[in-house]
Amino acid sequence: MADQLLSSGTNFLTAFVASWALAPEQFATFVVSYAVVTVVLALGRAVIGEVLLAYLPTVSLADRPAIVRSSTGAALVLGIAGSVVCVAGGGIGHHTLSGLLWLAPWVPIALMQDARRFVFLSQGRPGHALAADGAWAAAQVVVLGALAFGGLGFSVAGLATSWGVGALTGLLVAAAIGGGSLRPCCPKAWARRTRSLSGWFVLTSVLGQCEIYAVLVLAGTLLAPTDAAGLRAVQLLVFQPTATVAAALLVLVTPLVAGAVSRRDVEAARHARRFATIASAGLAAAVLAVIPLRHTLLDLLFPQYTAYAALVVPIALQSALYVLGVPFHAQLRGFHRARTLFGLQVLGSAVLVGAATAGMGFGGVVVLAWGLAGAALVVDLVLLVTTPGPHRAGAGHRTAVGPTPEPALEVAR
């Protein structure tokens, strides 16, 4: 939990400093460019990080170093491809994407650091992951402090550099404490040995990460820069912290459900569902409590965007509905209803992006925000209808569609 909060907190710090230090036009440029980079990082995490969690513990100790190096090579290849995408996007001439040119050189380093972090988590060494992420955060704070007090001032280039230096520091610390070589090797071994874990779950993860940032990119290109910046500021205030805690809750609950299903323990499945429901309801209530405090919080944290206090209500409703869906997502993952999960993600993303686009076309940023809340309600209603109840635990798993797993992976599942 501490590592998850620190990792997400570093991203929040970057965006928060940008909102505080940059002019609205520059802030819009930074958040849209940073959104594209975040999508690239989410793709790398889905292909490498999440697969490491399921695969690396099943590999013999003798084979693990080679697999780790191969996964690092895969992260490097994906990072180089992501850098090419960023350079191409930054070179098309649109002002809101120009920040990609400053972020592009650091993408391979960030992906390699993230891969090493998941190696630690897969090996049951979360303290090592926390140390690497702590080094990232500390280095980024040092660079930001140098910009603030060294007379250089803040800019899109400076913020991108602070983020990249943090990633490089985290990678070096991970190499130092991990006891393994940083030298990447051919990623073919990684692709060959983990192909049975690719498929519906990976696609679901990527699409889920992309949908929010797709809205940001649309907002940055279709709305006025100040409106796009105001929307992002409100999301940082309300939605981003909620999504961070919801993700950690999903990680906690999913193994409980999966374990109950594998043991055909209906009572344990009900207990996991009940725990997730109570926790989600409490978090949703905390999110809604932000609404009467919206003016005070914006004045305190985002004083440049107090004019956008009207967006807090719909974004808070969207956030509350989002976190209420956690028990259903945990249930689907625990039951291995991968095809259903992906289908629901496609539906949810289509509704979300469609509502956002319609809102921007018909009424600007306020209607866009209410469209996001309406889309979250539709998704929750569909989840309520399609998710199996805990009493189905006795029926066992429905495994993901895809190639037949290797014997060791089948045992692990």
- The pLDDT assigned to 197 comes to 59
- Buried b / exposed e over 44-76, threshold 16 CB at 10 Å, is bbbbbbbbbebbbebbeeeebeebbbbbbbbbb
Residue whose token pair is 């970057």: 14
- The pLDDT assigned to 315 comes to 94
What secondary structure letter does DSSP report for 405?
Answer: P
C-alpha torsion 373→379→380→382, nearest 10: 150
Q: How far apart are CA 126 and CA 120, in angstroms?
A: 6
Give all strands (DSSP E) within 128-213, no chain letters. none
Q: How far apart are CA 11 and CA 30, in angstroms?
A: 13
Q: Is 3 helix (H, G, I), strand (E, B) or coil?
A: helix
Q: How far apart are CA 114 and CA 110, in angstroms?
A: 6
Q: How far apart are CA 114 and CA 49, in angstroms?
A: 7
- The pLDDT assigned to 411 comes to 30
Angle between helices 225-237 and 294-301 (to 10 degrees): 110
Cα-Cα-Cα-Cα dihedral sign, residues 357, 359, 360, 365:
negative
- The pLDDT assigned to 135 comes to 94
- The pLDDT assigned to 199 comes to 67
Q: How far apart are CA 215 and CA 292, in angstroms?
A: 26
Contact indicator for 15, 34 with CB cutoff of 8 Å: yes
Name the pTM for this structure. 0.66
Among candidate residues 156, 159, 116, 157, the one with its CA nearest the CA of residue 140: 159
pLDDT tens, per residue, the chain with 413 residues? 788 778 877 877 788 888 888 888 888 888 888 888 888 888 888 788 777 766 776 677 788 888 888 888 999 999 999 999 889 888 876 677 778 899 999 999 999 999 898 888 777 788 898 999 999 999 999 998 898 888 777 888 889 999 999 999 999 999 888 765 557 788 888 888 777 656 676 787 778 767 766 776 777 777 777 888 888 889 888 998 888 888 778 777 776 777 677 677 888 888 988 999 999 999 999 999 999 999 999 998 888 889 999 999 999 999 999 999 999 988 887 777 778 888 888 988 888 888 878 877 777 788 888 988 998 999 999 998 888 777 665 554 444 333 333 333 223 32
- The pLDDT assigned to 143 comes to 92
Residue whose token pair is 């808070």: 316
- The pLDDT assigned to 125 comes to 81
